[in-house]
């Protein structure tokens, strides 16, 4: 199966006078030492994801704050300040919860100018893109902007399905080697994120199923697709957030949080029980391995000697006291 067309960047340029920007200096003055890692984290997620914007929602708030090492409240306060000083466009943020700027967009489209095609949503643009000849407006191709990432991906995959042949049989053979509880998740991951490329990635995905349960991993994959954050790290972050704060239904189409964000349903309680059992199992594995290692390292008869040392010590102390 072919890999989805890449939208984001692997790296991006950072101006040498970045710290001299008045907007950046105001953010540093207002938010302290966390301002720089917050800015870098936001820019990384923008350029790595859709390339020219970032949808700011509850999941992204958690992921960014977790990466930087600050609270979600502090992360939200930073965003408010960044919008206030003009680092991000105020109108798009207030209307659609979108973080972007004219500079970010210009830089992205210049870097991707040599690509065969680059998708964009004209309702999110702050610059004139008529000079670029490789851009595809998703709104002119009957693609719903709110579900842009999902529909674009399916359009790309429709061509691939025509020439699956031996690849599909090989993938089916590989899927049959997975545990039954993980087979559906593996297929969903391969169809919507990207084909599993290594044994390490496969094992991590199976571990998520064992730790969190098939249903919640599937929901996390669906959430990642809707956010166009197609990575195992993002899926893991969503599951960690649900484990900490409870499962939530996400956001409405406009990117704003729903009022009934968190629910302690039976399904979520089962999720916590499964996670608790998994952690206990992993802990027991670690204890057993440590005991076996220690028994292997101790010389023969050493264990008995260690047990007898306290008694011998008391006897020796008695002799010393008698001498005194």
Note the pLDDT of residue 245. 77
Residues 201-213: pLDDT tens digits? 788 888 888 888 8
Give the pTM.
0.50
- Token pair recorded at residue 232: 């195992």
CATH number of 165-245: 1.10.10
Q: Is 216 exposed, middle or buried (0-12, 13-18, 19+ CB in 10 A)?
A: buried
Residue 36's pLDDT band, with cuts at 50, 70 and 90, is: very high
Which of 108-122, 134-148, 205-219, 264-278 has the highest mean predicted lDDT (pLDDT)? 108-122
Query: CA Rg, the chain, in Å?
Result: 27
Pairwise CA distance, residues 45 & 54, whole Å: 7
Q: Where are the domains of the chain?
A: 18-157, 165-245, 266-323
The pLDDT mean for the chain works out to 76
Residue 139 has pLDDT above 60, yes or no: yes
Note the pLDDT of residue 168. 52
DSSP state of 115: S
Residues 82-96: pLDDT tens digits? 999 999 999 999 999
Name beta bridge partners: 119: 136
Pairwise CA distance, residues 78 & 65, whole Å: 10
Instruction: Give me the DSSP letters along 170-194.
Output: HHHHHHTTS-HHHHHHHHHHHHHT-
Do 3 and 194 meet the contact criterion of CB atoms below 8 Å apart?
Answer: yes
Q: What is the mean pLDDT of residues 192-217?
A: 82
């Amino acid at each position: 199966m072919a890999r989805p067309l890449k939208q984001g960047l692997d790296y991006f340029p950072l101006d040498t006078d970045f710290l001299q920007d008045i907007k950046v200096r105001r953010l540093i003055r207002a938010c302290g030492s966390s301002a720089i890692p917050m800015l870098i984290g936001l820019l990384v997620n923008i350029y790595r994801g859709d390339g020219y914007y970032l949808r700011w929602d509850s999941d992204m708030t958690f992921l960014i704050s977790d990466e930087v090492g600050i609270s979600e409240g502090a992360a939200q306060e930073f965003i408010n300040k960044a919008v206030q000083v003009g680092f991000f466009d105020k109108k798009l943020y207030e209307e659609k919860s979108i973080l972007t700027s004219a500079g970010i967009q210009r830089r992205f489209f210049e870097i991707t100018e040599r690509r065969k095609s680059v998708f964009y949503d004209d309702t999110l643009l702050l610059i004139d893109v008529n000079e670029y000849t490789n851009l595809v407006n998703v709104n002119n191709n009957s693609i719903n902007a709110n579900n842009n990432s999902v529909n674009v991906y399916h359009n790309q995959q429709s061509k691939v399905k025509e020439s699956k042949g031996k690849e599909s049989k090989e993938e089916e053979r590989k899927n049959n080697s997975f545990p039954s509880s993980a087979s559906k998740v593996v297929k969903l991951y391969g169809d919507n994120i990207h084909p599993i490329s290594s044994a390490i990635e496969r094992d991590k995905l199976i571990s998520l199923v064992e730790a969190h349960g098939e249903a919640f991993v599937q929901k996390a994959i669906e959430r990642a697709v809707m956010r166009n954050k197609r990575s195992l790290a993002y899926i893991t972050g969503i599951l960690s957030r649900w484990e900490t704060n409870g499962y939530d239904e996400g956001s409405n189409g406009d990117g704003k949080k729903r009022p009934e964000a968190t629910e302690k349903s039976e399904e979520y309680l089962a999720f916590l029980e499964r996670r608790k059992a998994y952690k206990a199992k992993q802990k027991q594995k670690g204890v057993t391995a440590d005991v076996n290692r220690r028994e292997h390292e101790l010389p023969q008869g050493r264990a008995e000697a260690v047990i007898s040392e306290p008694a011998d010590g008391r006897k020796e102390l008695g002799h010393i006291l008698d001498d005194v």
